């Protein structure tokens, strides 16, 4: 309950404290051998030899932990993985960021890291979808693709002298529109095989960025690459896409997000905020469970109230307890 900033009555405090204690007891039993705090001794095999990694130190002939976390072992390497650390990018991770600067042949992206990432013009799909060399005309029209404050989804390509490199050459990457961007602690979003989620029931997309930025928006259909190539072969000149100023009133109305979809987006956003407040891991399964719980509420903003947070904590404690018993 330390650091939890929600107004609670005395009864709600007791209920929340009971639920958190139950969760703590369940997690401590699972990771009792792996969890360490500062100055705890780490058992190692001195005969086979070992390598001290991050979060470890040698004190009086023993290996002790210098940070709080979980002991990890990779062959002879022993290190401590911190549970609540700043975001450390790795190659291949899916991230969500916001454009902060349009520079020559590149965009600078804020990805919740100590330095901005770089998205090159050559590392993004052009609006016409044709695979070709980038020309001076493309460089002049960079703001038509991405401009300041646009939200973009990309993948970490690698590290170079000028910073972190991104690429968005797949159809699932690129500019994100018609939704909300949330910022949570990066340790709450675990790296998984799939970070893109299409919730067909609610007609929305979720992108759980490993950097702690989460996007919740209306589902946008992506065109197939074969269809784009066929269209490019059949037409000699690509017509520019109509802007919002040249669209008719009927076209603008069709471009708006329906009210029902916006309500689902707000419920999902509030569910993620509740999980972030309680410090629970954020996964698509848990998010959808909280959204289903919120359907009984008439007002969406009631999800951010203290009573709903206590109910989520109690439900999470019951879920983990039942999962452990089933094993």
**The domain spanning residue 67 has which CATH number?**
2.40.50.100
Q: pLDDT band at 253, cuts 50/70/90?
A: low
> Tokens in use for 69?
């976390």
The reported pLDDT for the residue numbered 55 is 87
**Among 80-89, 127-136, 206-215, the range of highest mean pLDDT:** 206-215
Residue 104 confidence (pLDDT) above 80: yes
Element (H, E) at 156: strand 151-160
Q: What is the pLDDT of residue 9?
A: 86
Residues forming a β-bridge with 71: 80
Give a yes or no: residue 60 inside a domain: yes
Q: Sign of the CA dihedral 327, 208, 110, 136?
A: positive
- For 127-146, b/e burial (b = at least 16 CB within 10 A) is eebeeeeeeeebeeebeebb
Between 249 and 308, the higher pLDDT residue: 308
How many domains is the chain partitioned into structurally? 1
Q: Is pLDDT of 234 > 70?
A: no
Find out whether 105 and 89 touch, Cβ atoms under 8 Å: no
Average pLDDT, the chain: 82
Dig out the tokens for 172 from the structure: 């699932």
- pLDDT category, 71, cuts 50, 70, 90? confident
**How many whole angstroms separate alpha carbon 98 and alpha carbon 178?**
14
> Which structural domain, as residue segments, surrounds residue 72?
44-83
Tell me how far CA of residue 249 lies from CA of 244, 254, 259, in angstroms. 10, 9, 18
pTM of the predicted protein model: 0.79
- Does residue 237 register a pLDDT over 50? no
Closest CA to 180 of 143, 148, 206, 154: 206
Determine, yes or no, domain membership for 202: no
Indicate the SS3 state at residue 197: strand
Between 36 and 182, name the one with better pLDDT: 182
- Give 5's DSSP letter: -
Q: Is residue 34 part of a domain?
A: no
Mean pLDDT of 6-35: 77
| Residue 251: per-residue pLDDT | 57
- Structure tokens belonging to residue 258: 């329906």
What confidence tier does 51 reach under pLDDT thresholds 50, 70, 90? confident
Tell me the CA distances in angstroms from 166 to 95, 110, 158, 197, 278, one per residue in order: 9, 11, 7, 21, 32
Q: Tell me, what's the pLDDT at 208? A: 95
In a domain, 57, yes or no: yes
Residue 267 has a pLDDT of 93
Q: Which residue has the higher pLDDT, 15 or 243?
A: 15
51 assigned to some structural domain: yes
In a domain, 56, yes or no: yes
User: Is 53 within the bounds of a domain?
Assistant: yes
d(CA 111, CA 116): 7
Compare 224 and 86 and report the one with higher pLDDT: 86
- The answer to whether residue 238 scores a pLDDT higher than 50 is no
Which pLDDT band holds residue 69 (cuts at 50, 70, 90)? Answer: confident
């Amino acid at each position: 309950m330390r650091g939890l900033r929600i107004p609670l009555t005395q009864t709600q405090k007791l209920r929340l404290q009971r639920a958190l204690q139950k969760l703590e007891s369940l997690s401590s039993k699972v990771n009792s051998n792996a969890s360490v705090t500062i100055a705890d001794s780490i058992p190692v095999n001195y005969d086979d030899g070992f390598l001290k990694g991050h979060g470890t130190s040698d004190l009086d002939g023993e290996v002790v932990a210098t940070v709080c976390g979980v002991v990890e072992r990779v062959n002879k390497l022993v290190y401590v993985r911190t549970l609540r650390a700043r975001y450390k990018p790795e190659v291949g991770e899916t991230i969500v960021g916001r454009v902060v600067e349009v520079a020559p042949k590149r965009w600078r992206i804020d990805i919740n890291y100590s330095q901005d990432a770089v998205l090159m013009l050559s590392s993004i799909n052009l609006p016409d979808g044709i695979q070709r060399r980038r020309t001076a005309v493309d460089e002049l029209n960079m703001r038509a693709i991405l401009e300041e404050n646009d939200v973009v989804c990309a993948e970490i390509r690698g590290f170079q002298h000028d910073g972190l490199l991104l690429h968005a050459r797949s159809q699932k990457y690129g500019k994100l529109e018609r939704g909300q961007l949330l910022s949570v602690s990066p340790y709450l979003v675990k790296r998984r095989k799939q970070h893109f989620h299409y919730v067909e029931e609610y007609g929305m997309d979720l992108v759980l960025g490993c950097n702690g930025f989460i996007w919740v928006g209306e589902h946008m259909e992506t065109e197939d690459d074969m269809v784009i190539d066929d269209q490019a072969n059949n037409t000699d000149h690509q017509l520019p896409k109509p802007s919002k100023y040249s669209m008719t009133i009927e076209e603008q109305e069709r471009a708006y997000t329906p009210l029902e979809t916006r309500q689902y987006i707000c419920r999902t956003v509030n569910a993620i905020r509740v999980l972030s407040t309680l410090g629970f891991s954020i996964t698509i399964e848990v998010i959808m469970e909280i959204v289903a719980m919120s359907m009984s509420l008439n007002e969406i903003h009631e999800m951010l109230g203290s009573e709903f947070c206590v109910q989520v904590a109690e439900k999470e404690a019951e879920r983990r307890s039942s999962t452990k018993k089933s094993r």
